[in-house]
Amino acid sequence: MTRTEEQNELEPRARFVRAARGEPVDRPPVWLMRQAGRYLPEYRAIREKSSFLAMCDSPDLAAEISLQPFRRFGMDGVVVFSDILLPLRGGGLELEFAPGPVIANPLRGPADLDRLAVDVAAAIAPTCEALRRLRRELGPRAALIGFAGAPWTLAAYATESRLSRDVEVLSALAWRDPDTVQKILERTSQICAEALRLQIEAGADCVQIFDTWAGVLDRTRFEQLAGRALRRVLSLLGPERPPVIVFARGAAHLLDGLADLGADVVSLDWRSDLGEAAARVGQRVSLQGNLDPTALLGPLAGIARGVREIVRAGRKARGHIVNLGHGVLPSTPVEAVATFVSTAQEGGG
């Protein structure tokens, strides 16, 4: 399979899944992390009347919010509106959004492990219902993307009331009491895998695992902690699954480890060089990313240039999904997102 061979125009859903698997496509698909969000006036109109959790817990609102950016910009992927911490609800953790996540009673040690005895299906039932509706609504016009927090990242939130910059509580616990951390990770691996399995069952064409906080680990500890747990998630999902994307923030030093997990796509933070990463991972995985989200706050011409550079660099990868290197910032102008998507859909010019 070569990426230069002629391709008839694909439908977006097929384009997305094929790029994730490293199969030939007509042009790279495009979406943006946190594309359904505060930068959109129609999102803010809903947010004024509802709490964040109420929006997640209403299949009507969650489906509507997920579709808002798609109606405007026609991305190739539609990500369900939800939150990585929802599956942690319903056990013994007192979780609030204030507006960032706050856990009143984080896990301190082995005696607290039963606070992770959660019913994932109940906790994300509205998300799954939104996915079912979105799947019917979208048909082949877009790939439907589900997501979950990675085991290490879920564990980071579960062990600290408000997360410190470098996840110090969980990191220290992993030095002090590695057995307890392995037990926490075993449980959060099950939660992550179950959340993904349910979303796949509900119609997700692709799922992304957010290991936002894996980047605080050096390579050795990544293998022992976050990486081992991600492997367990992939093994729990089994071989008959749609493509899996793994994202980690500030993780240029972990590229090899991420490429070797058995996932289909590694989503690069904006600080990684996409061309170099493509050369390094070779045929192991496709790549996603990775324009700096703050570039969307600059001139439109600069955004178009940035997207074209990324599309060009992405040709060196076995497959490429155009995205930002992190989520859309709330202060992003709507026209910036329009330029990002349209430039990518012109194939990078």
Task: Please state, as a whole number, how many other Cβ atoms lie within 10 Å of the Cβ of residue 349.
Answer: 11
Cis ω for the linkage preceding 106 (within 30 of 0): no
Taking the least distance from each CB to its own copies, the nearer of 158 and 207 is 158
First to last CA, the chain: 23
Torsion sign across C-alpha atoms 132, 64, 267, 119: negative
Report the C-alpha dihedral over residues 204, 50, 35, 69, rounded to 10 degrees. 90
Among candidate residues 65, 37, 39, 12, the one with its CA nearest the CA of residue 335: 39
**Least distance CB 340 / its own copies (angstroms):** 13
**Least distance CB 31 / its own copies (angstroms):** 21
Taking the least distance from each CB to its own copies, the nearer of 58 and 171 is 171
Alpha-carbon separation of residue 43 from 35, 37, 47, 59 (angstroms): 11, 6, 6, 15
Taking the least distance from each CB to its own copies, the nearer of 127 and 212 is 212
**Least distance CB 280 / its own copies (angstroms):** 13
Task: Please state, as a whole number, how many other Cβ atoms lie within 10 Å of the Cβ of residue 6.
Answer: 6
**Least distance CB 238 / its own copies (angstroms):** 32
The catalytic site residues sit at 34, 38, 47, 83, 157
Can you tell me the distance from the alpha carbon of 94 to that of 238, in angstroms, rounded to the nearest whole number?
32
**Helix residue ranges, H only, 74-124:** 120-123
- 238 CB-side CA count, 13 A: 5
Taking the least distance from each CB to its own copies, the nearer of 221 and 241 is 221
Taking the least distance from each CB to its own copies, the nearer of 150 and 216 is 216
Taking the least distance from each CB to its own copies, the nearer of 110 and 299 is 299
**Least distance CB 293 / its own copies (angstroms):** 8
Pairing of strands 95-97, 101-103: antiparallel
Task: Please state, as a whole number, how many other Cβ atoms lie within 10 Å of the Cβ of residue 279.
Answer: 12
Residues that bind its own copies (CB under 8 A): 165-166, 168, 171-172, 174-176, 215-219, 221, 250, 252-253, 270-273, 292-295, 297-299, 302, 326, 329, 331
**Least distance CB 213 / its own copies (angstroms):** 11
